[in-house]
Amino acid sequence: MNRKRLKFYIYYFLIFVLLFIAVSNQVQAAPSVSSQKAILMDQETGRVLFEKDAHTRSRIASITKIMTAILAVESGKLEQDVTVSSNAAGTEGSSLYLKAGEKIKLEDLVYGLMLRSGNDGAVAIAEHVGGSLEGFVYMMNEKSKEIGMENTHFANPHGLDDHEGHYSTAYDMALLTKYSMGNERYREIAGTKVHTAPNPEEKWDRKWRNKNRLLTELYKYSTGGKTGYTKLAKRTLVSTASKDGENLIAVTLNGPDDWNDHMDLFEYGFKEYDYKIVLNKGKINKMEDDVYKNHVFLKRESVLSLTDEEVEEVRVEYRMLKPDEGWLKNKQAPDIVGKAVVYLDDKEADSLPVYFKRESPKEKEKSWWKFWAFSIESIIGVRDHG
List the catalytic residues.
62, 65, 117
At residue 253, the 3 state secondary structure works out as strand
Q: Which phi and psi (to 5°) does residue 18 adopt?
A: -65, -40
Please calculate the CA angle 263-268-274 and round it to the nearest 5 degrees: 120
Using the 8-state DSSP alphabet, how is residue 218 labeled? I
- Counting Cβ atoms within 10 Å, is residue 242 exposed (0-12), middle (13-18) or buried (19+)? middle
Residue partners of 294: CB distance under 8 A and separation at least 6? 283, 287
How far out from the chain centre does Cα 261 lie?
19
Count of C-beta atoms within a 10 Å radius of residue 358: 16
Q: Which phi and psi (to 5°) does residue 157 adopt?
A: -90, 0
Q: HSE of 116 in the Cβ direction (CA atoms, 13 Å)?
A: 23
Asked if 351 and 341 count as a contact pair (C-beta separation under 8 A), the reply is yes
Residue partners of 325: CB distance under 8 A and separation at least 6? 290, 291
Asked if 310 and 344 count as a contact pair (C-beta separation under 8 A), the reply is yes
Count of C-beta atoms within a 10 Å radius of residue 163: 14
Residue partners of 312: CB distance under 8 A and separation at least 6? none
Name residue 211's amino acid.
K
